[in-house]
Amino acid sequence: MKKVLCLVSSPPGSAQAQRAFALAEEWVKQGHSVQICLLQDGVYAALQSKVQDDTVSPVQWLVLGDDLKLRGFAAEDLRSGVTTLDHAGLVQMMLENFDQVLGAF
């Protein structure tokens, strides 16, 4: 079982984001531990009004706090179960916590 981090910077309705979410769902079915980190316009996928609760479950969702703030949102706007982190935390996670890091931009 691999620990996989998928970085998504595209908005939730884009082909790139949809492809990343479908891949994450497939990896989970294969028994891998998957986390999705939402960056740039990808943060919109973490908002309560944008994503259905059953989207790619049981993936752990992360969002870059600075990108969320730049778009006028706060942690209170996130759907349940989404964790915010900063740039340093993201870099540390990528270096220490995952077997594979993939970008879906």
What is the token pair recorded at 34?
A: 């998957």
Domain of 86, in residue numbers: 3-104
Q: Residue 79 and residue 102: Cα distance in Å, rounded?
A: 23
Q: How are beta strands 33-38 and 3-8 bridged, if at all?
A: parallel
Type of residue at 1: M
Tens of pLDDT, residue by residue over 33-48, are 999 999 999 999 999 7
If one counts the domains in the chain, the total is 1
**Cβ pair 21, 46 in contact under 8 A:** no
Provide the whole-model pTM.
0.88
Report the CATH number at residue 79: 3.40.1260.10
Tens of pLDDT, residue by residue over 48-71, are 765 555 555 688 999 999 999 999
